[in-house]
Amino acid sequence: MNSAPVSEHRLHRRVQFHETDAAGMVHFSWFYRYMEEAEHALWRAAGLSVTEVAADVFFPRVSASCDFRNPLRFEDEFEIAIRITGLTEKTIRYACAMTRGETPIASGTLVAACVSVRPGQPLKAVPIPQAIRDRFAVAPV
């Protein structure tokens, strides 16, 4: 594990058949999952897991968006490049660029909030634990 804070990560991925739809392309809902897979890979690269670091917090999404440029098809190999673009007391903002070789496929954003887990209570945003914060930094522009 690298002890420097982590700002970005690249994930290589192949399109699976069950990710396609009857238009012969990857269904758009999958791009949000691809972004999340890259986010979790980024956390692992930082030596963390979204579920194991702190048993009493988790990081649900506050918002997510994606712009679609070109389709992905079955067995296409592509890359998801994720970068941390914002880090506030309670939230982490990511930007993702998905590409197949030189072809731009999609670009998106995820905002996740640090939320305390109290059974039977509404979700409540809380400060990101220091042990997690220390492992991340905003990527240079």
Q: Rule CB under 8 A: which residues touch its own copies?
A: 16-18, 20-25, 27-30, 32-33, 36-37, 40, 44, 49-51, 58, 60-68, 70-71, 73-75, 122-123
CA distance 73 to 111: 27
Smallest separation (angstroms) from its own copies to the CB of 20:
4
- Three-state secondary-structure class, residue 68: strand
Centre a 10 Å sphere on the Cβ of residue 67 and count the other Cβ atoms it contains. 10
* Nearer CB in complex with its own copies: 58/140: 58
* Nearer CB in complex with its own copies: 12/140: 12
The residue assigned the tokens 């918002």 is: 63
Smallest separation (angstroms) from its own copies to the CB of 56:
13
* Nearer CB in complex with its own copies: 61/131: 61
At 11, give phi and psi (nearest 5°).
-120, 130
CA distance 52 to 50: 6
Smallest separation (angstroms) from its own copies to the CB of 23:
6
